[in-house]
Amino acid sequence: MIRQYELVERVRAYDPTADEDLLNRAYVFSMKAHGSQMRASGDPYFSHPLEVAGILTQMKLDTASIVTALLHDTVEDTVATLADIERLFGHDIMRLVDGVTKLSRIELQSDQTKQAENFRKLVLAMSEDIRVLLVKLADRLHNMRTLHYLNNPEKRKRIARETLEIYAPLAERIGIQRMKDELEDLAFSELNPDARDSILMRLAHLRTEGTGVVDRVMAELRDILDKNGLGAASVSGREKTPYSIWRKMHLKNVTFEQLSDIMAFRIMVDDSDECYQVLGIIHGRYHVVPGRFKDYISTPKPNGYRSLHTTVMGPERQRVEVQIRTRDMHEISELGVAAHWAYKSTQPVTLDSLQYRWLRELLDILEHAQKPEEFLEHTKMELFQDQVFCFTPKGDLIALPRGATPVDFAYAVHSAVGDTCVGAKINSRMLPLRTQLQNGDQVEILTSKAQTPSATWLELAVTGKARARIRRFIRLQQRTQYIDLGKALLQKLFRQEGYDFSDKAVDGVIKIFQAATSEDLYASLGAGLVSGREVFNAVFPGHRQQATSLQTVDEKIAAQNKARAKAKGLDSPLPIRGLFGGLAVHFARCCHPLPGDRIVGIVTTGKGVTIHTIDCETLDSFNDTPERWIDVAWEADAETAEIHVGRLAVILANEPGSLGTLSTVIGKNGGNITNLKITSRSRDLFEMLIDIDVKDVKHLTNIMAALRATPVINSVDRARSR
C-alpha cells in the first residue's frame, strides 16, 4: 500500500507546485472514513482509492484529480457527505467527487436498463469535466486488476463485459492506449481465458523462435538510420496484445500464423520533419505493401493520436509494420487527453476542440434517444467501430465509423443537414446514399427544405447520432399520424352512432385505457392497439346492444362484396373488411398495398375507395379531411384468386446476364414481372423499379429474400414512390 509521503512525493516529482497540504488532508480523511472496511481480497478498503490515486499519478494528473481519487468512494460507502467534502476540500473537489459518486451508486446493478442509465450519467458527468472520466477509468482499472477475488462468476463476467463494451472504448476515444490495452486484456482473461492462454502460448513460442529475427530487424533499421544521419532515433519492438490478436483473427477470419503484424517496430525521433525523413528512407530501402500506409500526422485520429504507419517487405523478406512518431506524439498516444490535461492545465477541458467531437455527438444522441437502452445501443455503435476520414468541400475533416454512408456524413456535419439530405456527390460524382465512404473521400451533401428523414435511412445509417435522430423523427411523425388517424376513426364512429364527438367525452375514459392524455389514446387507436369500438363502448356503456345490428350490417356488406367478387368471376369476395356496399375499390399505386399489410381506405370522389398502406406518405395530404378515412383491414383467413402488384426498388450490378438472372429468380419464386423502369444508371450499377404480380406480402417477401441471396443483386427494398 502506498504510504502518505510516497503519494505526495509522486505528485511533486512531476508538479513541484502541488498542494501538499491538500493531498495530506485527503489521504488522512479517506483513511479514517473507510476505517475498518475490507475488500473481497481481504485488503483494507482504503487500499482501493489509494491505488486509484496511484494510477493517476502515473498519468501525471493535477492535484484535484488525485484528491478526487482518494475521496471518490467516501460519500457512497462511508458517513461522509458532499457538504463535508465541500467544506474541507472546496467546491471543485466536491463537484468531481459528486460526478464519480453518481455513477457508482447504480454501477453494480445487473439490469440492462440500469447499465444504460449508468452510462448516460457518465456521459453527462464527463461532458462537464473530463477528469470525472479519468478517475472513473482508473477506478475501473483497479477493480479489474482485483476482479478475480469476487466469488460470483456471473458478476465477474458482467463487469468484464461492461469493461470491454464501454470502458475500454472510452479509454481509446480519449487516447489512453496503455489503459485501453490493459482493460481489454483483463476483460479478455475473464470472458475467454482459454483463447487468451492459447494466444499467449503461441506468442511465447514465436518469441523463442523469432528472437534472432526481431533483433536482426531492429539492428538493420538502426544501421539504416545511422547511415542517413539519424543516429539519435530510437528503434523498439512492440508486440500486439492477446485481445487485439484474437479480435483481428475473428474480423479477418484468419489463423494466428496468417497474421503478419503481430510484431510492430516503432521509430521515435525529435520532430515531425524527421518522421517524414525516416519514412522516405524506409520506403526507399524496402518495397512498400500497397494500401498499408496511413498518415495520422497530417490527419490525426479524433482522440489526438498522431503517427505514421507503414508496412514494408523488410529485412530478411519479412513483412514488417513500422510506426514512426516523435517522442511527444508517443506520450500523447500513451496518455491521450491526460497528456494535455495533466498538472499543467488550470482550465477545465472543454468540448470545443475536434478531439471531443465524439463526446458532443454522444450528448446529441442522449438528447434524441427515447430511452436509456436505445442510447446505450447507439453509443456502443459510436464507440466501437474503426474509422474512415472524409472531407467536406471546404476541406474540413469528418471522422466516421467504417461502413458509414453519406447519410452518416450529413448528420456528422449538422443535424439539420442530415434531416434535409436528398443526395450526395462523392469526389464530384453523384452516387446513391447507400454508398459506403472510403478514406479520403470528399463528400458534398445536397439538401432540400422539402425533405425529411425516411425510415429507409435506418438501413443506410451506421452512426449512433444519425440513427438516433432518424428514429426520433419517425417516432414523432408516426405519433402525429396515429393521433390524426385515431381521432378521425373515433369521430366517424360517433357520427355513425348518432352522437356528437367531443374531446371531453374521451378525456373521461383515458384512465380506463391507461393513457396519460387523450392524444395518447388517439395514438393507440391509430396504431391499432385499441379499437374504436372499445373506446366508444367505454364512453357510452349502455350502447353495447347495438353490436348485433352492426354485425348484421357487416354481414350485408360481406354479402355484397361476395356478390361483386362472384360477378367478376372470382371464387371468393374481396378480402377486405370494413368497406361500405356499392363503393368501387382501387389499390393505391403510390404504395401498392398487399394482403398482409396494415391498410387504410380513403374515399376518393368519383373513384370510390382507394386502399393505402398505413405508412404511405400520400396519406399526409388527407390529414385535413379525416371524414374521408375508412378503417379497413385484410380478412385474416381470406383466400382469393386476385393477383396484386408489389413494387420493388432494386440495385443491380451492371454486367452481362444480370437482368436475366433477376427475372429468372423472380419467375422461379412464382412472381411475374409486369413493369420495369430503370431510374438511374452508372458504369457499375443499375437502379430500377420493378412491378411484380404476387399473392400477398409474404409472397413478395419471399421473392425479396431470394433476390438478396443472388450475387448480382446489390440491394432490394420495397418501393413506396409513384
Helix/strand/coil (H, E, C) string of 515-528?
A: CCCHHHHHHHHHHC
Active-site residue, 271 included: no
Give the SS3 label for residue 288: strand
Between 95-99, 347-351, 686-690, the lowest mean confidence (pLDDT) is in 347-351
Helices (H), 287-424: 327-335, 337-341, 357-368, 372-384, 406-413, 415-419
Higher pLDDT, 550 or 145: 145
Cβ 523 vs Cβ 488: under 8 Å = no
Q: How far apart are CA 1 and CA 574, in angstroms?
A: 82
Q: How far apart are CA 722 and CA 720, in angstroms?
A: 7
- Please name the residues in contact with 652: beta carbons below 8 A apart, sequence gap of 6 or more: 658, 659, 662, 685, 686, 687, 688, 712, 713, 714
pLDDT-derived band at 367, boundaries 50, 70, 90 = very low
Cβ 432 vs Cβ 651: under 8 Å = yes
Q: How far apart are CA 315 and CA 235, in angstroms?
A: 14
Cross-strand partners of 647: 691
CA neighbor of 490 nearest in space, from 480, 478, 503, 473: 503
Mean pLDDT, rounded, for 212-230: 85
Chain-centroid distance, C-alpha 561: 49
Higher pLDDT, 364 or 129: 129
Flag whether pLDDT at 141 surpasses 90. Answer: yes
| pLDDT reported for residue 220 | 87
HSE at residue 416, side-chain half, CA atoms within 13 A, is 1
- Average pLDDT over the chain, rounded to whole? 78
Phi, psi of 717 (to 5 degrees): -140, 155
Running DSSP on this structure, what letter comes out for residue 111? S
Mean pLDDT, rounded, for 311-335: 82
Phi, psi of 456 (to 5 degrees): -70, -20
**Which fold is adopted by the domain 201-335?**
Beta Polymerase; domain 2 (3.30.460)
Among candidate residues 20, 76, 364, 615, the one labeled active-site is 76
Flag whether pLDDT at 549 surpasses 50. Answer: no
Mean pLDDT, rounded, for 627-646: 75
Phi, psi of 694 (to 5 degrees): -140, 170
**Percentage, residues of the chain above pLDDT 70:** 80
Q: How far apart are CA 21 and CA 719, in angstroms?
A: 71
Between 28-42, 59-73, 199-213, the lowest mean confidence (pLDDT) is in 199-213
- Please name the residues in contact with 83: beta carbons below 8 A apart, sequence gap of 6 or more: none
Residue 549 CB-density burial (10 A; 0-12 exposed, 13-18 middle, 19+ buried): exposed
pLDDT-derived band at 569, boundaries 50, 70, 90 = very low
Residue listed under C-alpha cell 466469488: 151
**Which fold is adopted by the domain 644-718?**
Alpha-Beta Plaits (3.30.70)
Flag whether pLDDT at 501 surpasses 60. Answer: yes
User: How far apart, in Å, are the Cα atoms of 408 and each of 169, 425, 557, 685?
Assistant: 20, 14, 50, 22
Inter-helix orientation angle 193-227/177-191, to 10°: 150
Flag whether pLDDT at 158 surpasses 80. Answer: yes
In this structure, the strands spanning 421-426 and 287-288 are unpaired
Give the SS3 label for residue 607: coil
**What is the tens place of the pLDDT at every residue in 227-244?**
988 888 999 887 788 888
Neighbours of 490 (CB within 10 A): 26
Flag whether pLDDT at 39 surpasses 90. Answer: no
Q: How far apart are CA 106 and CA 52, in angstroms?
A: 20
Cβ 180 vs Cβ 226: under 8 Å = no
Flag whether pLDDT at 705 surpasses 50. Answer: yes
| pLDDT reported for residue 491 | 85
Cβ 561 vs Cβ 573: under 8 Å = yes
- CATH number for the region 4-176 comes to 1.10.3210.10
String of DSSP letters for 191-250: H-HHHHHHHHHHHHHHHHHHHHHHHHHHHHHHHHHHHTT-TT-EEEEEEPPHHHHHHHHH
Here the cell at position 377 is 445501443
**What is the tens place of the pLDDT at every residue in 41-73?**
888 999 999 999 999 998 888 898 999 999 988
Q: How far apart are CA 257 and CA 249, in angstroms?
A: 10
**What is the tens place of the pLDDT at every residue in 80-116?**
888 999 999 998 898 888 877 755 543 434 445 555 5
String of DSSP letters for 677-704: EEEEE-SSEEEEEEEEEESSHHHHHHHH
Active-site residue, 77 included: yes
Cβ 369 vs Cβ 468: under 8 Å = yes
pLDDT-derived band at 445, boundaries 50, 70, 90 = very high
Cα angle for residues 150, 153, 155 (degrees, 5° grid): 75
What residue segments make up the domains of the chain, in order of their start?
Answer: 4-176, 201-335, 473-539, 549-634, 644-718
| pLDDT reported for residue 71 | 92
CA neighbor of 245 nearest in space, from 211, 281, 290, 195: 195
Residue 300 CB-density burial (10 A; 0-12 exposed, 13-18 middle, 19+ buried): buried
Neighbours of 234 (CB within 10 A): 12
Flag whether pLDDT at 279 surpasses 60. Answer: yes
Flag whether pLDDT at 404 surpasses 80. Answer: yes
Q: What is the dihedral of CA 110, 115, 117, 120, to 10 degrees?
A: 160
Q: How far apart are CA 161 and CA 157, in angstroms?
A: 6
Q: How far apart are CA 256 and CA 250, in angstroms?
A: 10
Amino acid at 237: G
Higher pLDDT, 325 or 305: 325
CA neighbor of 507 nearest in space, from 490, 519, 525, 523: 519
Between 398-412, 440-454, 556-570, the lowest mean confidence (pLDDT) is in 556-570
Between 133-147, 273-287, 353-367, 590-604, the lowest mean confidence (pLDDT) is in 353-367
Among candidate residues 19, 20, 43, 77, the one labeled active-site is 77
Mean pLDDT, rounded, for 569-580: 59
